[in-house]
Chains A and B, each alone.
Chain A
């Protein structure tokens, strides 16, 4: 029911105002939440540079960039695959949507695996030096978001299997994609800060 029809119905006294769910709520809410999540990242990065400016030798230890670069490239690939899912559903192509979401989730699990392996093989603890602390904190912040993202992507995958989305109605899928793109931004910012420009 469109907004205009809804109003007419109300004036006629046909139904109480518990109308169809207004469109775009999940997208707007996700965008706002992502803005807040991004500010946590900004706060952490600001703290990183504040401590870095106090230090003569930075970073105190050299870290291999091979694994983080591979993880970052995987993030770069999910930037495309998750948009591919949105593109496919807006053309009502359920099978391609499923494929794109499946590939995104596969890559997401690979990202999580790579980061876990990287953290588990670090040669220093979280309290060794401020640089090390931020390696743990920024990576863990990204991993938490990735875990939340994987849960959301699985939920959306299930609803796609159930045929809940169509070209006209796929707000939730778009919202999941927005959140996943934020995970990528957070991961790439952390990668740039910790490894490219330490």
Chain B
């Protein structure tokens, strides 16, 4: 039909990439992801360097100040420039497809979000070139709180960089929530929303209400640091705990909010590869929402030692959040167990299983840390580093990798290499376990969270293992990036069919990769598994017939 073809040409002209001002949600998402992985790599390399300093007692690889500078860069890059843009980017790319929508609710706002992250990256990198050198105060800017005069202009740049990343995250969350609330396909009720989209809604809601509190804190920090105010200076009528509390409210909620979408990704992968609906799906949805609510109630545990904080209350709430998270995990296990048939071990499922082992170890580590928070030892020790990294690397980061294996057909039209994927999964799981479990041991023995060296011989073995683990983890990330380069950039990956995994949700009803307008036809949505329903209906029509032949182009492309 002429009209249709003309319209399509017009639309495809818009698909010239975000670099030139394009607003297609898939390219904006891919752009955010590319930026994020650049900073995962940078943050990872920095971690490997300062872990080298801690490989043996009393090493001189890094002096005190550069160690703390690298530590600050590592935390700021990994959270504000990797975890936040990576999840926002993956959600930008996938959520409209899962909803059967042609685009995000506000496409230009999405492009603005991506560019704000670039601006944030510019400011945060700029701190390295400030006159007095990069900040040494940690990613939470409280070691010590940089009141007027401490840290120089580097701290101003840090505030501006983190502020831009915060604004970008708020705008991304507004965009994703509006899309999920207003642009669902006919029949796709909230209760039928795919698990990944639901988890993105929960974490967007958390970002929406928690990240602005960081902005408030940054405003106070800026007037104190740059304009000579005394809100944070204890001997002039102020209180540094104002910044610490505002930051903790943000950080505790936002760190959990980067974990929820990973739970959403695995809640998509397990049912598809087990060929069964997610066991007790509504319970899983409710559990995610409950965890989202509890993410606002546990921040006081991050302030252990502050006498103004009702520690018992926060200990209870910060352990309670582990309950719904474990419940989501149990629905995955029940989905596979009740099928009584092992799931297909394809690349995304392999990654999901790796994530599952990390989550299983992270939950008890978090529980013990929160239970002992009252003593104040846990949160200022390496235990904090170990437990949170098991979650943030072993679950949040791993979830992004698993999601990319699962949705590679929709992002690039090709599969990532499965063999390389299995090797990378082993490296990441081994890396997370070796790098972070030993930190629990030395943390329990009192090694400080920001120690730049140590002298105790009894900590040597654990620290050496942790350093080897950090290298292994870096190798895992490098393997993943190699896989993307080989499979996607060099186009050596298998060309994907439209629905290679026999998926359940609407993104599998369109081509791989989808056209600029996403869908030519939408199947009718009558359950949470519309594409599965469609396949069943079609299967009934051709009972006993042979499976459809793959198209000649596909056979040729894969030859």
Minimal beta-carbon separation of B328 from chain A (angstroms): 25
Residues 200-235 of B at the A interface (beta carbon under 8 Å): 208-217, 219-220, 223-224, 227-231
For residue A57, which residue of chain B has the nearest CB?
B237
Which of A17, A24, A51 meets B238, CB within 8 Å?
A: A51
CB pair B242 A7 closer than 8 Å: no
CB pair A29 B215 closer than 8 Å: no
Measured between alpha carbons, how far is A198 from B239 in the docked complex, in Å?
Answer: 18
Which of B148, B170, B182 meets A24, CB within 8 Å?
A: B182
Measured between alpha carbons, how far is A19 from B518 in the docked complex, in Å?
Answer: 12
Which of B148, B173, B223, B241 meets A50, CB within 8 Å?
A: B241
CB pair B186 A3 closer than 8 Å: yes
Which of B236, B239, B522 meets A10, CB within 8 Å?
A: B522
Residues 112-166 of A at the B interface (beta carbon under 8 Å): 126-127, 129-130, 133-134, 136-137, 141
Known: A33-B174, A130-B230, A134-B231. A18 touches B517 (CB 8 A): yes
Residues 29-52 of B at the A interface (beta carbon under 8 Å): none
Interface flag for B534 (CB, 8 Å): no
Minimal beta-carbon separation of B6 from chain A (angstroms): 11
Minimal beta-carbon separation of B84 from chain A (angstroms): 15
Residues 13-60 of A at the B interface (beta carbon under 8 Å): 13-19, 22-25, 28-29, 32-33, 35-44, 46-47, 50-51, 54-55
Contact partners of A38 in chain B: CB under 8 A? 212
CB pair B522 A7 closer than 8 Å: yes
**Taking each of A16, A40, A51, A129, which has the highest tally of chain B beta carbons within 10 Å of its own beta carbon?**
A16
CB pair A51 B239 closer than 8 Å: yes
Interface flag for B495 (CB, 8 Å): no
Which of A32, A43, A55 meets B177, CB within 8 Å?
A: A32
Contact partners of A36 in chain B: CB under 8 A? 170, 173-174, 208-209, 211-212
Interface flag for A168 (CB, 8 Å): no
For residue B176, which residue of chain A has the nearest CB?
A32
Interface flag for A196 (CB, 8 Å): no
CB pair B213 A39 closer than 8 Å: yes
Interface flag for B470 (CB, 8 Å): no
CB pair A29 B7 closer than 8 Å: no
CB pair B175 A127 closer than 8 Å: no
Minimal beta-carbon separation of A16 from chain B (angstroms): 4
Minimal beta-carbon separation of B533 from chain A (angstroms): 15
Contact partners of A50 in chain B: CB under 8 A? 239, 241-242, 245
Measured between alpha carbons, how far is A6 from B522 in the docked complex, in Å?
Answer: 11
Interface flag for B178 (CB, 8 Å): yes
**Taking each of A32, A37, A42, A137, which has the highest tally of chain B beta carbons within 10 Å of its own beta carbon?**
A32
Which of B8, B175, B223, B522 meets A133, CB within 8 Å?
A: B223
Contact partners of B215 in chain A: CB under 8 A? 40, 43
Contact partners of B211 in chain A: CB under 8 A? 36
Contact partners of A13 in chain B: CB under 8 A? 1, 4, 520-521
Minimal beta-carbon separation of A129 from chain B (angstroms): 6
CB pair B4 A127 closer than 8 Å: no
**Contact mask for chain B residues 244-256; partner A; CB cutoff 8 A; 1 contact, 0 none:** 0110010000000
Interface flag for A4 (CB, 8 Å): yes
Measured between alpha carbons, how far is A47 from B518 in the docked complex, in Å?
Answer: 46
Interface flag for B3 (CB, 8 Å): yes
Measured between alpha carbons, how far is A37 from B216 in the docked complex, in Å?
Answer: 10
Interface flag for B181 (CB, 8 Å): yes
Measured between alpha carbons, how far is A22 from B186 in the docked complex, in Å?
Answer: 12
CB pair A29 B174 closer than 8 Å: yes
Contact partners of A22 in chain B: CB under 8 A? 105, 182-183
Interface flag for B519 (CB, 8 Å): yes
CB pair B522 A29 closer than 8 Å: no
Minimal beta-carbon separation of B251 from chain A (angstroms): 13
Interface flag for B11 (CB, 8 Å): yes
For residue B167, which residue of chain A has the nearest CB?
A36
CB pair A40 B237 closer than 8 Å: no
Measured between alpha carbons, how far is A161 from B217 in the docked complex, in Å?
Answer: 41
**Contact mask for chain B residues 510-523; partner A; CB cutoff 8 A; 1 contact, 0 none:** 00000101111110
Minimal beta-carbon separation of A175 from chain B (angstroms): 11
Known: A25-B105, A28-B178, A28-B182. A127 touches B522 (CB 8 A): no
Measured between alpha carbons, how far is A6 from B101 in the docked complex, in Å?
Answer: 12
For residue A45, which residue of chain B has the nearest CB?
B216
Contact partners of A43 in chain B: CB under 8 A? 212-217, 246, 249
Residues 132-160 of B at the A interface (beta carbon under 8 Å): 148
Measured between alpha carbons, how far is A46 from B170 in the docked complex, in Å?
Answer: 20
CB pair B11 A47 closer than 8 Å: no
Measured between alpha carbons, how far is A105 from B193 in the docked complex, in Å?
Answer: 42
CB pair B219 A137 closer than 8 Å: yes
Measured between alpha carbons, how far is A103 from B237 in the docked complex, in Å?
Answer: 43
CB pair B519 A17 closer than 8 Å: yes
Contact partners of A141 in chain B: CB under 8 A? 219
**Taking each of A7, A24, A42, which has the highest tally of chain B beta carbons within 10 Å of its own beta carbon?**
A7
Interface flag for B343 (CB, 8 Å): no
Measured between alpha carbons, how far is A130 from B232 in the docked complex, in Å?
Answer: 9
Which of A15, A32, A41 meets B178, CB within 8 Å?
A: A32
Interface flag for B106 (CB, 8 Å): yes
Residues 474-522 of B at the A interface (beta carbon under 8 Å): 515, 517-522
Interface flag for B102 (CB, 8 Å): yes
Contact partners of A37 in chain B: CB under 8 A? 212
For residue B245, which residue of chain A has the nearest CB?
A50
Measured between alpha carbons, how far is A4 from B187 in the docked complex, in Å?
Answer: 10
Minimal beta-carbon separation of A39 from chain B (angstroms): 4
CB pair B102 A17 closer than 8 Å: yes
CB pair A47 B246 closer than 8 Å: yes
CB pair A44 B219 closer than 8 Å: yes
10 contacts between A and B (CB under 8 A): A24-B182, A39-B209, A40-B212, A40-B213, A43-B213, A51-B237, A127-B228, A133-B230, A133-B231, A137-B219
A-B complex: 9 closest residue pairs judged by Cβ atoms: A43-B216, A39-B212, A127-B228, A133-B229, A43-B213, A16-B517, A40-B212, A17-B102, A29-B178
Starting from the known contacts A7-B522, A32-B208, 7 additional A-B residue pairs (CB-CB under 8 Å) come to A28-B177, A29-B105, A37-B212, A43-B249, A47-B246, A130-B236, A133-B230
